Amino acid sequence: MTTTSRPVASGYLLWLRGPSGALSASPVAPTGRLGPAGHPLYTGCDGRLLVEITEEGRHRALARPTHTRILTVARVG
């Protein structure tokens, strides 16, 4: 069984657009694992969002709520 760490103060803030078109922000924190391309994986508080983020801030969602789109990523902490 694989476990992930809970989000903390450092990590990234993702700006999302939900199915209704509403914008929201979701903090994500490192999981301690690497994604398929070898970049760190980050997860949201509820575990439904899993994203691989490069050093340059490029991102690829590996898991996300249905009909939710990641618009941009900002580093925090």
pTM for this prediction: 0.80
Rounded Cα distance, 21 and 25, in Å: 13
Taking Cα atoms as reference points, which of 61, 59, 58, 6 lies closest to residue 29?
6
Q: Provide, rounded to the nearest whole percent, the portion of the chain with pLDDT above 90.
A: 66
Q: What is the tens place of the pLDDT at every residue in 19-44?
A: 899 999 999 999 999 999 999 999 99
pLDDT at 17 exceeding the cut of 90 = yes
What size, in residues, is the chain?
77
Average pLDDT over residues 44-68: 91
- pLDDT of res. 10: 63
Q: What is the tens place of the pLDDT at every residue in 42-55?
A: 999 888 999 999 98
Q: Which residues pair with 30 in a beta bridge?
A: 42
Task: For residue 1, give every residue at least 6 positions away whose Cβ sits within 8 Å of its Cβ, in sequence order, or none.
Answer: none
